[in-house]
């Protein structure tokens, strides 16, 4: 079957969908696209299913060649995409003709870009999902491995007609160097002292370079006062874990299912989309948020993207 061929996989290119569910009780991570905003739009531009398989590019520096005419779209981090040397803006659909090369540079703003094809990449699912979880050796084209040069990404259908589509400017992602994240207090929040919480909310943190799909590691004011290990419990998406060194870690898609470090609560789902695009060095502040208000916003997001 023809489609796209990976010429250069770049820093990290992974097949992703919304993730693998019903498997956490076996200790498996859900995986899935880190920024569901860019992921949602890239599929919507192509009228794809809201769980279609796309390529998540981290940092960029990748290239792909079409082995038949295909309709693609690119959303998320700005990687100065070019088709045969001609600039191809993000947040819109475009055609890549058979034999043409799509090249992406290193990310200029944001960290992760999503490349989708009309109908989604046709890849066999493992346990209900194509999501690549490297640490579980699951998903993608083979056993959780990132895409490699020479890999072929089959497409569902040959190009029929070119109806151009574009994300309205107001909804295109912007990836600033300073982020305010909404925090829903939960889990062990009542056990932290007022002064520890004050340090957390008043301080400014920076995204550390060793952040990955498991967790976004932050450095900044120490959150102290609760160093006893807890009985291990399930970790939710976005949980803010405070290990003994007092430096918060926001746990993301490839997180371990259980953990025994105290947690202050969870970063709100919409803020997690922004955090997924935060490059190392991005400055972070936390703002307390109301659960009901954030829940309403998240329901609206899911309704909009028909998830």
Partner 1 sequence: MTLRFEPVSETHCIVYLGEAIDPSLAESIAALAKALRAALPSALVEVVPSYTSLLLEFHPLRISRKQLERAVLEQYALLQSSQASGQTQQHTLTLPVYYHSEVGPDLDDLAASAGLAKEQVVEIHSQQIYTVCAIGFAPGFAFLASVDERIAAPRRATPRLKLPAGSVGIAERQTAVYPQQSPGGWQIIGNCPQLLFDPKHSPMSPFEVGMQVRFEPLSREQFIELGGQICLDWK
Q: Which is nearer to partner 1, 106 or 304 (CB)?
A: 304
Q: How far is the CB of 13 from partner 1 (least distance, A)?
A: 22
Residues that bind partner 1 (CB under 8 A): 21-28, 30, 126-127, 136-138, 184, 186-187, 231-239, 256-258, 265-266, 268-269, 291, 294-295, 297-299, 302-303, 307
Tokens found for residue 169: 């400017």
Q: Are 60 and 10 in contact (CB under 8 A)?
A: yes
CB of 134 to partner 1, least distance (A): 13
**Do the beta carbons of residue 83 and residue 101 sit within 8 Å?**
yes
Give how far the C-alpha of residue 6 lies from the chain's centroid of Cα atoms, to the nearest Å.
20
Least distance between partner 1 and beta carbon 258 (Å): 3
Considering the complex, state which of residue 33 and residue 73 has its C-beta at the smaller distance from partner 1.
33
Which of 238, 224, 236 shows the shortest CA–CA distance to 191? 224
Nearer to partner 1 (CB atom), residue 50 or residue 100: 50
**Minimum distance from CB of 14 to partner 1 (Å)?**
17
CB 148, CB 7: distance < 8 Å = no
Name the burial class of residue 190, with classes exposed (0-12), middle (13-18) and buried (19+) by CB atoms within 10 angstroms of its CB.
exposed
To partner 1, the closest distance from the beta carbon of 115 in angstroms equals 26
- How does DSSP classify residue 131? -
Q: Find the radius of gyration of the CA atoms of the chain.
A: 20
Token pair listed for 300: 């609206």
Among residues 57 and 270, whose Cβ is nearest to partner 1? 270
Distance CA 38, CA 47 (A): 14
For residue 292 the two structure tokens come to 């009901």
Residue 30 C-beta: closest distance to partner 1, Å: 7
Q: Quick one: 58 or 273, whose CB is closer to partner 1?
A: 273
Least separation in angstroms between CB 99 and partner 1: 37
Read off the DSSP letter of residue 190.
Answer: G
CB of 270 to partner 1, least distance (A): 9
Element (H, E) at 104: strand 101-106
- Give the residue with the Cβ less far from partner 1, 137 or 164: 137
Cβ proximity of 235 and 258 under 8 Å? yes
Alpha-carbon torsion (74, 78, 79, 83), positive or negative: positive
The pairing of strands 233-234 and 152-154 is unpaired
Cα pseudo-dihedral 217, 220, 226, 228, rounded to 10: 50
């Amino acid at each position: 079957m023809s489609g796209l061929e990976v010429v250069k996989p770049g820093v990290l290119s992974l097949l992703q969908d919304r993730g693998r569910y019903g498997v956490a009780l076996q200790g498996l991570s859900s995986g899935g696209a880190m920024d569901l905003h860019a992921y949602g739009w890239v599929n919507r531009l192509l009228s794809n299913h809201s769980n279609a398989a796309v390529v998540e590019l981290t940092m960029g520096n990748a290239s792909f060649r079409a082995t038949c005419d295909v309709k693609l779209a690119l959303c998320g981090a700005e990687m100065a995409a070019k088709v045969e040397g001609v600039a191809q803006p993000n947040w819109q659909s475009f055609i890549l003709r058979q034999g043409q090369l799509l090249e992406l540079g290193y990310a200029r703003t944001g960290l992760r870009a999503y490349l989708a094809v009309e109908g989604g990449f046709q890849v066999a699912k493992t346990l209900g999902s194509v999501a690549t979880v490297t640490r579980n050796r699951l998903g993608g084209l083979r056993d959780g491995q990132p895409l490699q040069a020479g890999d072929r990404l089959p497409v569902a259908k040959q190009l029929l007609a070119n109806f151009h589509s574009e994300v309205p400017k107001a909804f295109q992602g912007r990836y600033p160097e300073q982020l305010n994240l909404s925090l829903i207090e939960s889990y062990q929040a009542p056990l932290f002292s007022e002064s520890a919480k004050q340090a957390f909310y008043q301080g400014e943190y920076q995204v550390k370079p060793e952040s990955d799909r498991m967790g976004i590691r932050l450095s900044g004011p120490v959150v102290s006062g609760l160093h006893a290990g807890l009985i291990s419990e399930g970790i939710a998406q976005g949980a803010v874990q405070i290990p003994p060194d007092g430096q918060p870690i926001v746990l993301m898609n490839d997180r371990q299912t259980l953990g025994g470090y105290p947690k202050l609560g969870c970063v709100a789902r919409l803020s997690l989309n922004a955090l997924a695009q935060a490059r190392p060095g991005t400055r972070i502040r936390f703002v307390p948020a109301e659960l009901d208000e954030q829940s309403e916003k998240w329901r609206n997001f899911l309704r909009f993207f028909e998830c």
